Structure 1
Amino acid sequence: MSTVFTKIINGEIPAYKIAEDDRFLAFLDVMPLAKGHTLVIPKKETDLIFNIETEEYKDLWAFAQKVAAKVGKAIPCVRVGVAVVGLEVPHAHIHLVPLNSIGDLNFANERLKLSETEFRDIQEAIIQA
């Protein structure tokens, strides 16, 4: 099932990593809805988030909670929204999106086009938060 996320995990594709441990990885979405839009994934390949074993599922959300707190500190927003869609990449993932209005979490919105410098600045701000 090797997906683009597996290639990121394996270091075959670069990513703007935010946090990582032996089971989970958080990195900036390269086609973000908002500055700071972060993806949180399990390293174990699983297509559907609800197919993750219960304990790993709980731990994934605990990891995402820590990352969301950093995103919220680093990126000016009303709150950090969360979505699990799973249609674009067949690898379970959680979207953490800084929100200022309900429309900010609309996946039909045009995606931001950020420069490498902007991505690196956002990455550093979140890591330092």
Structure 2
Amino acid sequence: MASIFTKIINGEIPCHKIAETKDFFAFLDVFPCAPGHTLVVPKKEVDYLFDLSDELYTGLMAFAKSLEPAIRKAVPCKRVGVAVIGLEVPHAHVHLIPMNSMNDMNFNSKIKISQEELAEIAEKIKAGL
């Protein structure tokens, strides 16, 4: 059965898409740790990040890195943190989270954000790409 991320990539589940290439897809987390929390995934469904081929792994990280300036511009912050948890969805993914303090990456304390706010943030990030 396809993961929720594969269903998002295939357009079966709506998302606030940030960017897409032939191999990768980035979209806003609907249960973010902070505004602008972006998920970056390979289109190929592989459960564990370290099971990706070297080419997909380095491509995923390069794609994530290319998004960072636009995220930081759209959501002013000190840094964009990077996290790989990998337990909640069986599809390799990287979290990019705007941070002003360590508390901004607290996965046990998600913020509530409206679909309208998510759409606005997504547009700001896309404008910076």
Q: Give the TM bin, normalised by the shorter chain.
A: over 0.9
TM-score, with length taken from structure 2? 0.96
In structure 2, the residue matched to 1:121 is: 120
Q: Aligned-pair distance for 1:44?
A: 0.1
Structure 1 ranges of 4+ moved more than 6 A: none
Q: Deviations over 1:36-66 (max 9, x none)?
A: 0000000000000000000111111000001
1:75 aligns with 2:75: yes
Q: Aligned-pair distance for 1:22?
A: 0.9
Q: Deviations over 1:74-115 (max 9, x none)?
A: 101111000000011010000000000012112111x12111
Aligned residues: 128
Q: Give the residue type in structure 2 aligned to 1:41.
A: V
**1:1-129 alignment, distance < 5 Å:** 1-109=1-109, 111-129=110-128
Q: Give the residue type in structure 1 aligned to 2:106.
A: N
Where do 5+ consecutive residues of structure 2 fail to align?
none
TM-score, with length taken from structure 1? 0.96
Q: Give the residue type in structure 2 aligned to 1:123.
A: A
Q: Distance in 2 between matches of 1:82 and 1:21?
A: 20
Q: Distance in 1 between matches of 2:103 and 2:111?
A: 14
RMSD: 0.8
Where do 5+ consecutive residues of structure 1 fail to align?
none
